[in-house]
Amino acid sequence: MTAKQTIEAGKAVLGIEFGSTRIKAVLIDGDNNPIAQGAHEWENQLVDGLWTYSIDAIWEGLQDCYADLRANVKKLYNTEIETLAAIGISAMMHGYMAFNKKEEILVPFRTWRNTNTGKAAAELSKLFVYNIPLRWSISHLYQAILNGEEHVKDIDYLTTLAGYVHWQLTGQRVLGVGDASGMIPVDPNTKTYDATMVQKFDKLIAHKKFGWKLLDILPKSLEAGEQAGVLTIMGAAKLDVSGHLRAGIPLCPPEGDAGTGMVATNAVRPRTGNVSAGTSSFSMIVLEKELAKPHEVIDMVTTPDGSLVAMVHCNNCTSDLNAWVNLFKEYQELLGVPVNMGDVFSKLFNVALEGDADCGGVLTYNYISGEPVTGFADGRPLVLRAAGDKFNLANFMRSQLYATVGVLKIGNDILLKEEKVKVDRITGHGGLFKVKGVGQRILAAALISPISVMETAGEGGAWGIALLGSYLVRNDKKLSLPDWLDEVVFAGNTGVEIAPTPEDVAGFNAYIEAYKACLPVEKAAVSCKN
């Protein structure tokens, strides 16, 4: 079929992902290739000291994103989307969305970016003998309990952003196992919430007499390929305000952006991994076995089919870099020079490769928000240099790029060096890799590993969740998810690989040692924040 015929026959699959700064929709054909896209830009808000997106912003963003997709389909193919083969919803992992019996949100959505859950995360990590990160839903829930927040007694349903949108579209309180593993740990044998930890939590809070137990309020955990409901009439109206989209379309289990990143990079099989580098960054290494011990900076989650994954999550990646690039854009505009942002990024990224391998002594801390891996509950962007350092544009930009993956390196050094985890292939995706070869080379030096980037790297998680929708309805041979991706979607394509050079590795190692040594300077900057 042509793309137009695919759309008109209702054979296209739609994937929608709520990222930190953009909601993106990708429509794919019967061969799993993108044929149309839509997008909506948005930003989180700091409300009462917590990062959030409002319910109105969620729905206005989703509807505008879908309307943009419809407009692009009309422009490209002169046709309308009436029905689809499947839909998938993905979003930022973790966070806290609590609802009462009337389906009213009890407190504003608390996103992954919040770091106010330190006491809860520490106590739960000790109780479970398992690393519980600050951003996980169980940390937010227990912190609310420790704070004595009135709303906790009224919770009827607790979910993530992906789970919330899926619920409103289908009426189903379910969640993909990968996203579920960021609410409370999942047992890789049962593919659902760890029964021992659930029991321990219920016992911990029993004296509060809330009237609910943990499993009463959590979504059901589903593996990739399982039925997760269909688009209701009300859901169709919420998604497509024009009224063209019909109800009855099947939806795959909703997933977090970590899971869709794994799918989009074909990194769901043990000994494969991927790095997502955008507003935040995270690496995902699919394990052959459990780690020897818990590590505070390594989160244990799962693939969308339930395999155990070691995750290093960093709150900050490209936001500060983008702010500096915009500063250069403003200077260009001041000179009266026409601005093409693609060219600005390309020129600045490539000049970084002309800098010294150790950035000439220039250090960058890109902490827009707190950074748990290095122990920061709050952040302050900082560029640090000595009078005798080689301060030029190339070294400045190289330092900016190093900073995007510096914290990621600190976490992965524990995983790869201490735990001796074996990885055959690491694939990069996200905004950092849009300028060909640059971010890829920087990451290779940081992780001391070859890094692959595929042509589809820019499609990201929206394509990944569309693939999971396709897996739901097009897996006629009943293949496992890794086999289906290998045989049907990627067919041997592993992308373009860049290996680290000894000079780059030595330079990055020197940079990161100076970076760690000067963390007290960043700490002092944070303490002086007004």
Strands (E), 366-419: 382-384
Mean pLDDT value across residues 309-336: 95
| Cα dist from 395 to 320, 351, 360, 383, 391, whole Å | 16, 9, 6, 12, 6
Residues 257 and 354 in one domain: no
Q: Give bridge partners of residue 41 from the DSSP assignment.
A: 22
Check: CB of residue 311 under 8 Å from CB of residue 412.
Answer: no
pLDDT digits (tens, 9 = 90+) for 249-290: 999 999 998 899 899 989 999 999 999 888 888 899 999 998
Asked whether residue 493 is assigned to any structural domain, the reply reads: no
pLDDT band per the 50, 70, 90 thresholds, residue 372: confident
Q: What is the pLDDT of residue 272?
A: 94
Sort strands 192-193 and 220-222 into parallel, antiparallel or unpaired: unpaired
Please report the pLDDT score of residue 341 as a whole number. Answer: 94
Instruction: For residue 483, tell me if it sits in a domain.
Output: no
So what's the pLDDT on residue 203? Answer: 98
- 488 part of a folded domain: no
Asked if 108 and 42 sit in the same domain, the reply is: no
* Statement to judge: residues 45 and 191 lie in one domain: no
- 352 and 439 belong to one structural domain: yes
**42-61 pLDDT, tens digit each:** 999 999 999 999 999 999 99
Q: Is there a single domain that holds both residue 231 and residue 148?
A: no
pLDDT tens by residue, 75-123: 999 999 999 999 999 999 889 999 999 999 999 999 988 889 999 999 9
Sign of CA dihedral 411, 414, 419, 425: positive
Please tell me the predicted confidence (pLDDT) of residue 493. Answer: 79
Tens of pLDDT along 411-461?
Answer: 999 998 999 999 988 999 888 998 999 999 999 999 999 999 987 655 678
Contact 372, 408 (CB under 8 A): no
Question: What are 162-199's pLDDT values in tens digits?
Answer: 999 999 999 999 999 999 999 999 998 999 999 999 99
Contact between 118 and 126 (Cβ < 8 Å) = no
For residue 455, the model assigns a pLDDT of: 73
Residue 362 sits in the same domain as residue 504: yes
Instruction: Say if residue 295 is in the same domain as residue 386.
Output: yes
Range(s) of the domain holding residue 116 = 97-159+184-217
403 and 429 in one domain? yes
278 and 138 within one domain: no
Contact 466, 26 (CB under 8 A): yes
Q: What is the pLDDT of residue 466?
A: 98
Maximal C-alpha separation, the chain: 67
Q: Kindly state the helix (H) or strand (E) to which residue 325 belongs, with its residue range.
A: helix 319-334
**Residue 60 counted as domain residue:** yes
Enumerate the H helices of 78-155 as residue ranges.
118-128, 137-146
* pLDDT(480) > 60: yes
The answer to whether position 382 is within a domain reads yes
Is the pLDDT at 494 greater than 90? The verdict is no
CATH code, domain with 444? 3.30.420.40
Of 10, 90, 86, 29, whose CA–CA distance to 250 is shortest?
Answer: 86
Residue 375 has pLDDT above 60, yes or no: yes
Q: Is residue 491 part of a domain?
A: no
Cα gap 392→458, rounded to integer Å: 30
Q: Which tokens hold the place of 216?
A: 């009463």
User: Per-residue pLDDT averaged across 135-139, rounded?
Assistant: 96
Are 418 and 520 members of one domain?
yes
Residues 365, 421: one domain?
A: yes
Domain count, the chain: 3
Confidence of residue 207 (pLDDT cuts 50, 70, 90): very high
Domain presence at residue 485:
no
Tens of pLDDT, residue by residue over 13-45, are: 999 999 988 999 999 999 999 999 999 999 999
CA distance 37 to 25: 5
Average pLDDT taken over every residue of the chain = 95
Residues 423 and 325 in one domain: yes
Three-class secondary structure of residue 207 per DSSP? helix
